[in-house]
Amino acid sequence: MDAIKHGLLSLLVFLLWIKGLVDGSDVIQTSILWKHKGEDATMDCRHTKGASYFQMYWYRQLPGERMRQIVYSQSTKPEYEPGFTMEKFSATKPDADSGTFTVKNLVPEDEGLYFCAVTMCSGSYPPYFGEGTRLTVLEPDHDVTPPTVQVFKPSEKECKVKTLVCVASGFYPDHVSVSWEVDGLTETDSVATDNTALKEGKHYSLSSRLTVQSKTWFKPSKKFTCRVSFFNGTDTIPVEDSIIGETDSGGMPNDTKMKIMQNAKLTYSVLIAKSFIYGVFIMFLVWKLKGLSGKQSSRERSCGLNN
């Protein structure tokens, strides 16, 4: 019965969390945790909901998987969900307002998000979740390395809209976030960043794209900056690169230049056609003149014979 009760409560908690009926502002937990393979990772959780919220739950969400409840704890002995054991996980609850959760003997497969939730004894009260702890299991032969950032200018083939590309590469682990600025002002609406970093050997890479109107790009006074924030285990380090807008050839937007080029091609084609027709007309006149000249010579010879 207890397993069924906790299973139903786990489902209820997940559904409430998905629907946004929970609030992590009252539940504070370790946000980022770095540990090496073989070590133990301990996460702290505390809340401000009061002593009546003495029940604490711990959940895990691994990459590509759904959230799963691991353990439930209060002042008594913790109760584990099927598939989770105290040999791998442990939970403590020293008082009503705080608790800890430990993942033992870390392996790379333990890397993911871990959530703390608190609730009252009665199931009629909604649970409250923390924002999650991101656990990273560092590989022994991988050094913590900040990214190299480079911004690439738009393709010349783009017309009305220009796309600037920012590439962050060579970093480990993948604790980065990307933001864009235009003349020092943050841009968010026209930004698309990869959901996950791509691992290449021992390092990661990530790309982000900023879309602007061509009239914005073709201004040498405009400065476009890509800023990548990298967490090195202790501090968040900003690494950035910038690029300046260009002056389009002729000092006009690229789409206007394309229209002029198309009109020029059309005008050139018309001139070629007219030249061809004029050439045919000249050849026809030459042919006619030769015909008339031949007739005139024939008449002159005929008159000479008659005389």
Backbone angles phi, psi at 10, to 5 degrees: -60, -45
Question: Mean pLDDT score of the chain, rounded to an integer?
Answer: 82
86 and 35, same domain (yes or no): yes
Query: Of 93, 109, 138, which closes a domain?
Result: 138
User: What is the end-to-end Cα distance of the chain in Å, rounded?
Assistant: 141
Secondary element (H or E) of residue 268: helix 254-306
Domain identity same for 229 and 107:
no
In-domain check, residue 291 = no
pLDDT tens, position by position, 231-282: 998 889 999 999 999 987 654 555 555 666 676 667 667 667 666 676 666 6
The CA distance from 81 to 128, in Å, is 20
Kindly state whether residues 94 and 155 are assigned to the same domain: no
Q: Looking at the domain assignment, is residue 278 inside a domain?
A: no
Token pair recorded at residue 260: 């002029």
Together in a domain, 115 and 236: no
Structure tokens at 211: 């879309």
Statement: residue 11 has pLDDT above 50: no
Residues 129 and 165 in one domain: no
Q: How far apart are CA 95 and CA 55, in angstroms?
A: 10
Enumerate the β-bridge partners of residue 46: 28, 98
Give pLDDT tens digits for 37-90. 999 999 999 998 888 888 899 999 998 899 999 999 887 789 999 999 999 999
Q: How many other CB atoms sit within 10 Å of the CB of residue 124?
A: 6
Strand partners, 95: 98
Q: Which structural domain range is residue 224 located in?
A: 148-251
Position 64 scores a pLDDT of: 85
- The CA-CA-CA angle for residues 101, 46, 20, to 5°, reads 95
Looking at the structure, do residues 43 and 153 belong to the same domain, yes or no? no
17/9 Cα distance (integer angstroms) = 12
d(C-alpha 116, C-alpha 45), whole Å? 7
Q: How many domains does the chain have?
A: 2
**CATH number where 73 lies:** 2.60.40.10
Among 119, 138, 157, the domain-final residue is 138
> Do 173 and 237 reside in the same domain of the chain?
yes
Residue 274 inside a domain? The answer is no
Single-letter residue type at 119: T
d(CA 109, CA 120): 32
Same domain, 61 and 160: no
103, 138, 173 - which closes a domain = 138
